[in-house]
Amino acid sequence: MEPVTLTTERLVLRAPADPDVEAIERACQDPEIPRWTTVPSPYTREHAVSFIEMVAKGWAEDHEYVWAIRADGTLVGMIGLHDVTPNVDGAHAEIGYWMVPEARGRGYLGEAARAVVDWAFADRGLVRLGWRAVAGNIPSARTARSLGFRYEGLQRLALTGPRGRDDGWFAGILATDDRTPQDWPVL
Ligand SMILES: CC(C)(COP(=O)(O)OP(=O)(O)OC[C@H]1O[C@@H](n2cnc3c(N)ncnc32)[C@H](O)[C@@H]1OP(=O)(O)O)[C@@H](O)C(=O)NCCC(=O)NCCS
């Protein structure tokens, strides 16, 4: 499909494009991003260029939907629905995100993620969204819980990335779920 733009009270979510290369390269120098995600480290301009190409392909092929999050025109983070997997009864996907360090702690991520979850269920008709994180990623887990994701367990050494293997926390939300935050035993 053509990339979709989402707008919230403070934010505009739009697929990242060539003018965002520098901002993405700069953001991904923060060690917290490769620590908790599969973003490469060291992160170069070439990584940002190929990321933008991959995002364009993901939209075109309905394989993943990724948005740059902008506040007052500045790129403050990235959010995406990955591994969109169709089935006879509808598709599921997995949510992922990072924020630039200076923009954290302002609730931007929750605001952006709520718009993405609404779009996924109401507009794109997904039946399930999954979430996974390296065990111990409290800020990411708190965000997922606040969106209504339900904790589904820990899988030992299930996550692979440039760092090696990590235990993973897993959670999910269904289109039919009540989004009221539930207790997570690890939080
Ligand atoms: C995860 C991340 C995107 C959260 O962004 P953020 O702007 O801090 O998000 P928020 O300010 O909305 O905070 C999210 C929640 O985490 C909590 N939190 C934030 N930093 C925290 C910390 N250091 N310790 C404990 N809780 C923390 C907030 O209080 C909030 O919880 P609440 O909604 O229950 O109040 C950001 O920390 C990040 O980019 N981390 C590196 C990349 C990453 O981990 N991505 C996710 C991979 S699964």
Q: Closest residue (by CA) to atom 27 of ligand 1?
A: 139
Q: 139-181, pLDDT tens digit by residue? A: 999 999 999 999 999 999 999 988 899 999 999 999 999 999 9
Give the model's pLDDT for residue 162.
83
Domains of the chain, CATH where assigned? 6-174 (3.40.630.30)
Q: Are strands 92-99 and 128-134 parallel, antiparallel or unpaired?
A: parallel
Find the 166 Cα to ligand 1 centroid distance in Å: 19
Q: Closest residue (by CA) to atom 40 of ligand 1?
A: 98
Residues having CB closer than 6 A to ligand 1 are: 32-33, 36-37, 97-99, 104-105, 107-110, 133, 137-140, 142-143, 146
Give the number of C-alpha atoms closer than 13 A to the C-alpha of residue 93, restricted to the C-beta side. Answer: 24
Q: 86-139, pLDDT tens digit by residue? A: 999 999 999 999 999 999 999 999 999 999 999 999 999 999 999 999 999 999
Q: Are strands 74-85 and 11-14 parallel, antiparallel or unpaired?
A: unpaired
pTM for the model: 0.96
CB 69 within 8 A of CB 13: yes
